[in-house]
Structure 1
Amino acid sequence: MDTERLTWAIGEPVVRVTPFGGRGYTPARRMIVELADGTTVFAKQAVNEYTAGELRREHANYLRLDASFMPRLRGWDDDGSVEPILVLDDLSGAHWPPPWRLDQVRQVLDTITAIGRQPVPDGMPVLDESSINGGWQTVAEDPEPFLSLGLCTRAGLNWMLPTMLEASAAAKLSGDSVVHLDVRSDNLCFSGDRTVFVDWNHSCLANPELDRAAFLPSVHAEGGPRPDDVADIDITLVAVVAGFFAARAGLPPVPDAPGVRPIQRKQLEVALPWAIRALGLGS
């Protein structure tokens, strides 16, 4: 890492840079940076055009939003290359779940509510619904990747698909509230009395219930309570979430992010039975 660029980004002398593995699913470089006064910050550097675009979107959202549920923006350097650098508070000493306690799950849901109540900042992007919905239609058109997961028989898919398609089509994803749109354990931590979300590159305006629906499968996949034991979620959004993972988990691995498909499968293993229960397809 170029300590000169980090010093420029932060505005303070850098004395040590330590690579930080974390649990991110992109190949962006992550590091803990020690400053001359002995304090530390967290830095993330893009490594290709995709991660550069994601980092620029994240930085833009840090400029738009400023609240206790976000780490503080500590620095930014973008020389126009594919390697911009974003610097934030160091949260490596916070508690990053799992394990999950029920009160922590509820803290996260309360934080999602708080995010949705934020004043809408200028320039906030609006949700592209096609990026979230349409999963069951994709499965209907080509069911083989989904069936290859072994989570459902062809007959079972044919039985539930009309209901999943109908429910997904009725879902209200649009809205005028701020949402994070990527709430899961590797993107949140508990620091003192704060619940802090990181990775704000997908944040936009949408229906905040979508964040709640998308978050809960990850909790049960990591040993926490079942989604329907925690909160009542709009069943149409439950169908959308299940469809999102159903359309992706069986696809070939992502070359730069090999952990994506396994985590999508784990989420689907929870989201699919949740949707089946919610829609009454198991009775």
Structure 2
Amino acid sequence: MALIFWALFYMAVMVAAFAVMGPSLISFVTATEQLEQSGVAPTLEDFAPIFQMLGLIVLVLLPLSLVSGTMIYAAVARAVLRPAESAFGYLRLGMDEVRVLVVTIVLCIVFTGLSALVFGGIGMVAGYATAADMPAVWIAVVLLVLAAIALFIWLAVRLCLAIPITMAERRIAIFDSFAVTKGRFWPLLGMALLAGVMSIVVSLLGSLVAMPIQLATGGLNGLEALEGESLQVILQAAWPAIAAWVAINAVMSALQVAVVYAPFSAAYRDIKGGDSSEATPA
């Protein structure tokens, strides 16, 4: 039942996103394809309208994505950690979601800032190797890249329980995950890899199911001919393909979040021992 609620939730989000940005998305895809098929090397002026459309799309869809993502991630954690709160597929919009949103944004800032710092430094070393014509330095660059990848994998695993802890203890717990994951890096990494493999399997199976449906409805390729039309005209001309795409992606998204995110909440529950729903609100 939770999966059904999550799929319906994703459908509602996708419908809302398409209702707001559908024509702009079609124009963006069409402009990009026309630029690729022009056969002429594009200039910055050619990219300007595409960047403008992309900026508008991101400006509208990013807040919607953050809010909907926060609600669904919190719902998955709630389903594992507080199973008694099962009404409406564990979906809520309250302080739990606010805390999860804060943790998500902070972690994104941390990883983005650290990525810029680390890979910016590696880029400087690579630039020096090129300017100085010292091939041997490229060995150091390769080793630095591998070390950076290892660092980010380690950091991601050590912080992977931040949202489950935040949900279980009803407080913002960004770096508490370090203490909980201490000495458990390899089991958690193995669990994450297994979840990733299962996610790929779900995606492949979903593609096999979706293919005949998309063929029967004509897919979304025909939307290019509707560029510049109003949303009403687009829906009248292509509603079967759009409805099929929304339904398929909603179901797939619900399955993906269950496969990918639930194991981390289950890991936190098992590490702490017993039902963490008794945690005292802070």
Same fold by TM-score greater than 0.5: no
More helix by share: 2
The structure that has the greater radius of gyration is 2
Structure having greater relative contact order (Cα 8 Å, sep ≥ 6): 2
Q: What TM-score do you get using the length of structure 2 for normalisation?
A: 0.23
Q: What TM-score do you get using the length of structure 1 for normalisation?
A: 0.23
